[in-house]
Structure 1
Amino acid sequence: METTGIIILAAGASKRLGTPKQQLPFQNKSLLQNVVHTATQSGNMPVVVVLGAFATQIKQQLIDEKVNTVVNPGWPTGMGGSIKTGLQHLLHLSPGVNSALLLLCDQPFITTPLLEEMYALKTTSGKAIIACSYGNTIGTPALFDKSLFSQLLALNGQEGAKKILLQHPEQVASIDFPQGAVDIDTNGDYEQLLTKI
């Protein structure tokens, strides 16, 4: 039976925003709680939240959630280290996982049905990577087969998982997710988000 683990990347310092984006209110919860609830509702699978900046205060918000938290001590160097930290922790908790789903805390329109569609497409397509397409790009949420874990564990610094998507185009199946283009990097992004609710 396929077991998928979920890694939520929430280690950034939100420099352009000036306040921890993980804690911005959205639909009566924080952005991070929003994606945590989406992840935990998509099935009985291990969920790892990777923290970095503001880890102590953000961890307080997650006390009642069914997730495991891990702190990436090298979070300032970029997303690559957080992906590696999250996957190492996931494999420690659940050595038998067959795939890992990467989620960002600042894509507020990720839904449980979207994640379920991704799991189903991985089974039917036989592809090693399921990613979401929006705008003119492809990216997170992204689901990686265990055959690519060694490449995820080799990411460094600013390198994100997109590097692996681009290296293996023949291994990628994509799902159209136009709302994936909405992410929160600045106050303007957040204000725009609030007008869409």
Structure 2
Amino acid sequence: MAVAGLLLAAGAGRRMGTPKALVELDDEPLVTRALRSLREAGASPRVVVLGAAAEDAVRVVSDADPEAVVVVAPRWVDGMGESLRAGLAAVPDGADAVVVLLVDTPGITAAALARVMAAATPGGIVRGVYEGRPGHPVVFGRHHLAAVAAAAHDDVGARGYLAGRDDVGAVEVSDVATRDDVDTPADLARLRGQEG
């Protein structure tokens, strides 16, 4: 089954003080790290949505993954929902499913992505869980993409579409990933301490 990768990396990182795509962890921009994980997991094609500091981020992406499809979301300032819509519009028709990854979740490994992708179906939704708690990544089968895009708005990505659904598959990934996200310099310092 063909699973495309969709990396949302457009945000300005207001609480971080710099766009998250360009934040470095272990001397590597988060966007580079995420694209490598998607590539190693077998996601293809890989679509990355940029917005803040797009010119700089495009250069980083082209160095990290020349095969990545770059989309600059025209309304990225409106929030994650707009980035998700722009990214889903760029996913080729040949993809049976799309795995969505957020650039500020550097603890999601290629192993976690591959495990969740392996459970995907064109008509289903599967997400990673951490000791039973839902998190990322999320894989949407092709049949859900239009509805996910329609439900996304402002700073609400797929959360509204997922809320209250009883048909979402769960794949445990806590043994190969962490659900930590990097929103602030303190979050980044904590992750650097864990990895150091």
Q: Same fold (TM over 0.5)?
A: yes
TM superposition shift of 1:133: 2.1
SS, match of residue 17 in structure 1: coil
**CA deviation profile, 1:136-171 (whole Å, cap 9, x unmatched):** 7423210001111111220211222122222422x2
Q: Which amino acid aligns with 1:31?
A: L
Residue 78 of structure 1 pairs with residue 79 of structure 2: yes
Query: 1:187: which partner in 2?
Result: 185
Contact 2:7/2:100 (CA < 8 Å) preserved in 1? yes
Deviation digits for residues 16-63 of structure 1 (CA, Å, limit 9, x no counterpart): 111222112223311110000011112261000000111111111112
Q: How many residues align?
A: 190
Counterpart of 1:146 in structure 2 is 142
Contact 1:80-1:158 at 8 Å conserved across structures: yes
Which residue is 1:160 aligned to?
A: 157
Alignment gaps of 5+ in structure 1 = none
Separation in 1 of the partners of 2:112 and 2:146? 26
Q: How far apart, CA to CA, are the structure 1 residues paired with 2:26 and 2:171?
A: 25
**Residue type of the partner of 1:142?**
V
Q: Does 1:176 align with 2:172?
A: yes
Unaligned runs of 5+ in 2: none
Whether the aligned pair in 2 keeps the contact of 1:135 and 1:181 (CA below 8 Å) is no
SS of match in other structure, 2:127: strand
* Corresponding residue for residue 89 of structure 2: 88
Alignment CA distance shift 1:109-1:55 (3 Å)? same
Distance (whole Å) between structure 2 residues aligned to residue 78 and residue 33 of structure 1: 21
Would you say 1:46 and 2:41 are equivalent positions? no
Cα 1:146/1:43, change in 2 over 3 Å:
same
Higher helix share: 1
Which of 30-39 and 154-163 deviates more?
Answer: 154-163
Deviations 1:36-94 (A, max 9, x none): 0011112261000000111111111112312110011111111111111001111xxx2
Describe the shift of the 1:151–1:32 C-alpha distance in structure 2 as closer, same or farther (beyond 3 A). Answer: same
Question: AA paired with 1:141?
Answer: P
Q: What displacement does 1:127 show?
A: 6.8
Quickly say closer, same or farther: Cα 1:168–1:4, change in 2 above 3 A.
same
C-alpha distance in 2, partners of 1:135/1:117? 15
Q: CA RMSD in A?
A: 1.8
Contact map agreement 2:7 2:103 (CA 8 A) in 1: yes
Whether contact under 8 Å (2:41, 2:111) holds in the other structure is yes
Kept in 1: contact 2:82–2:154 (CA 8 A) = yes
Contact 2:108/2:179 (8 A) holds in 1? no
Which letter maps to 1:191?
A
Cα distance in 1 for partners of 2:164, 2:142 equals: 16
For residue 9 of structure 2, what is the aligned residue in structure 1?
10
